[in-house]
Amino acid sequence: MFRTRRWIERVEVGFGRPMDSRERVKYLHQIGQTDIEFQTDQPTEMGIDPDHPMAQKETGLEGVPLSSLADFEEAFEGINVLEHTLSVICTHCSGPASLCQMIAFAEKQGIDP
């Protein structure tokens, strides 16, 4: 499979707020990295809104909160998603919601999912 093209080596990104991770993606793109993997934080993986009191100490610590379409829009603002191979690490709890958010984001950008 990889005899005619290189292996995909994704750089994992995900810390702080969506805008923090976006700035890291922009930096990585400047230095030539195009394969990016977003790690979501624990509240997102558990399906807890980052504004909920249960999520206060964990939001943005070990990943980025991507719990809404607005979070996706903020994380990818100013980034041409067609120039990157992007993935989002999700668990079985957050996977379906994240997939729906990614599809909605793509449609708002005029990209056919």
> What is the 3-state secondary structure of the chain?
CCCCCCCCCCEEECCCCHHHHHHHHHHHHHCCCCEEEEEECHHHHHCCCCCCHHHCCCCCCCCECCCCHHHHHHHHCCCCHHHCEEEEECCCCCHHHHHHHHHHHHHHCCCCC
pLDDT: which is higher, 87 or 2: 87
Please, which pLDDT band fits residue 80 given cuts at 50, 70 and 90? Answer: confident
pLDDT given at position 34: 82
Mean pLDDT value across the chain:
85
pLDDT: which is higher, 94 or 53: 53
pLDDT at 2 over 70: no
pLDDT given at position 1: 55
